[in-house]
Structure 1
Amino acid sequence: MVLSLGVNLWVIHQHIHQIDTDQGERALNQHAQNISQQLQFYRSVLKQLARRGEAQDILIMHDIATAQEWAERQQRYLPHNIGLALVDPDGKVLGTPVELRLGPSCVADLRKKSSRQSLAEPLVHRDNPQLAHFDLTEPVTDSLGEALGTLFVSFSLDTLQAVLTQSVLPHEVLILRDESGATIAKAGNAPDGHEILHHEAKVPESTWRLELIRAETNTVPVYLALGGTNLATSVLIVTAFMTVTILMVRLFLAEFSRIKTLLDQIHAGESITMTDSPLKETEQVLPVIQAIAQDIQEKQTKLVALSLTDELTQLPNRRRFNMEVERACNLSQRGVQVGLLLIDIDRFKRINDSAGHAVGDRVLQLLAACLRHNTRKSDFSARLGGDEFAVVVTNMQKNHLPAWAQRMCADFQAALKDDPLTSGDSVCTLSIGAAFAECAITRNPTELFRRADQALYSAKEGGRNRLEIDQVNLNVPPTEQVPVNKNLR
């Protein structure tokens, strides 16, 4: 409540200060306009006198006595003037300056003006404080506009003092200053005990400036009055402010909790669901979180794929193979025909030793390519390690397997012959051992692999480049079963 009241009073103070400033500027501009109007009145009088034929004739005839008499006569009729004279183009006063009440400063200024020196008008002279005045001049020309001379008139500063005195208000000071900053006239009393406001404005059509010094409105009574009348309003404002603050804090806490939940889900590898946020701040954060989650998910997918893929052949590796064999054995329990083929490259070590590992790697890659080409979408090929590969087949009959093996070996031999790196290694052949999950014993992944491996061993022992198919006999242990030999040559 105290905060709200303080803000309220500060706003009131600023408003009143702005009102004071605006009022002061308007008042000052009006005062400056009053001074300007006084000057314009005197200038209009000078123009009327300068346009009279009598003044023009005197300057043309250069009659000093007549000029003296004419000037003295005009002085009697022109209000507030101190001196008046006609001046020829050379700056010489037509008449006696002292009798025409022109002081030395005025005469000197007229000579400067005739020599085309720039003098700011109105000029102010304070040589004699009792005769302090300002000077105005008006050119006198003939009917063709040719310069004949100048009409000079000086007016008492009391006229300007009277204008300021009539304009000034209580607790105000008006100061009229000339171009140099010297005081021409001043009216009013300095405001004491109040905050002071300063305003300054240019007097139109002159080089003078008018300054206003005034007291700022005392806002303490206003504060007390408004503070009392607005107490209930202040309480309502504070209550509303606190309510809004509590709601905003709760909203922010809810959004922070939501962001934490999203981050926890990302950390746990779970998928996240994004919804619109009521806050602009978190609305900008959520897309970033979603992008991070998507990037992490993509990288995790790539890492999983890399962990299950053989780098050299890009076939699934042993880990992925174990998962697939287990899945296939589960299918066999539901009546699906499942077989496992283990393939080994004959004399592969000799190739590595004689031709180098680069050729050996190329042989492995060619075999992988042949497996991709000769297996169906339902089949699964993998590299188990070294020169040993495996194929999990589904719904393939045993009597179809020899033809598949013949085709596979032929493609492999052709690939070796056509490849520039391995064209001299056609002696590289394949030995294949096969086993089928045909009963409860062989539907176990470990047992199925053992039987296929035993068949592969038999193919190696039987002369290589062969296919051996395990035959399940429930009455005979697996090690004593007789394999069916198929020569692949």
Structure 2
Amino acid sequence: MPAHAPARAATASLRRHFVWLLLGVVLMLVGGVGLSLWFSLKAERQNRDGLLRLHAESARDGVKRRLDHYRSLVDKLARDPELEDLLRFGGSPAPQDWVQSRQPLIPDLHGLTLLTPEGEVLGDGTTLRIGPDCRAELRSRQPLRGRRLHLQRGVGGRDHLDLVSAVRGVDNELLGGVLLSMRLDALKRILEEAAHPGQTLTLLDAAGKTVVSNGEVADAAHEVRLDVGEGGWTLVGRMPGQTLTHSGKAQLIAGGATLLAVLLLLQASMLHLRRAMLRDIDATRDALTALAHGEPVQAIVPHYVEFAPTAGEINLIALQLQAQREQLEHLSLTDPLTGLPNRRAFETRFPQALGFAGRGLRIALVLLDIDYFKRINDSFGHGVGDQVLLALAQTLKALTRRADLPARLAGDEFVILLADLDTAGVALWYRRLADHFRSELAALGLDIQTGISAGQTWLRRTSRDTMNDALGRADRALYQAKASGRNQIVIDAPLDETGAG
């Protein structure tokens, strides 16, 4: 009986876990889809309102520009030099001839005529497209002494705008005026071009009557009103409401499909509990096998809480052993005194540098030796000698780029691989090295007469070049440097004679 108790407890805990997980996922998805849909509808409404206002403002500005254009046009006609003589003396050409010569030049023109100071039309009103009702209305309101812009309601849908500009003589005497009647089609085109599909833009006069409109909206849920600034005119933008946009419907469908997919996935997961448990056991076994063979161990992530303590202990042991192996590997490749890579590390990295040289990159190998180092040890002791070695190591670290590789081979013998430097560059690098080394000695308070002798060679493109061959060439150059008085660098051969670079 006790042997079966853990199994019953494990089954019960897993069942509760998945039941609560299933319930939580359902609630989260339903809430998430609902919130997403609500925010989408709210954002869509704000976007639609903003878009309607933007298009309405564009239409209003277009109407203002068109009216300003015709005002400017009628004012320009009123300043025609011929008009003073024509209106004052009735000279040639006749008023009707003057009007007919300018009608073809004006777009969207309904009518054009000259007026007397009392508002009488000069010329044949029928030819000039100024009907009897318009002539009578002009005489009654005397436009030259009142409003310059007037909406004229015609018959048969021939509504138009009258714009008037006074003609004055040199003594500012009122001689008459120019009447320009503009068809409302021009304003309607502005509204049609500015409106987005589904929007209507309507221009209303001061009495609330429609001047022009691009259509009607049966059930407008959004409305924008803008003052046009023309005798109480108003531009009204309308747009129908929409409870659920296409994007909202798509989100609703996607949310429902996602919810169904998650439910099916959870159901399938509950039916495959046995496979998941066996996977945890297999992962633990593989981790123990890798640990026994000293191989990298992948962290065990248990599916169930019953496996968490064992998996955590195995992961901890694996991390400790891996850290110990990395530390040992680092120590095996690092010189303990200077912290520079040792000969073994240099041997490991050298084939890579040789491969770069084979592909045409200039790689310089410089062998370094501290002058009179044995004498320093004998005279001042090995402690001072170690400080000198550290001074050279710090100098190499300070002057090393990421592409370079310094190393301590043995004793006071150091080597460095320099990438992408020519002969002049190597010589300049050596001078900086010598100066920095003296500065390091001074910083350590060591008043010692010593320097750095160096021999340099180029890694060659040929595959037969080896590390020993390159070190041999550099060693011969180093010997020449010492034989020539020390504290200098000797180049093994010019760059163009080595087959390098």
Q: TM-score, normalised by structure 2?
A: 0.42
Q: TM-score, normalised by structure 1?
A: 0.43
Larger Cα-atom Rg: 1
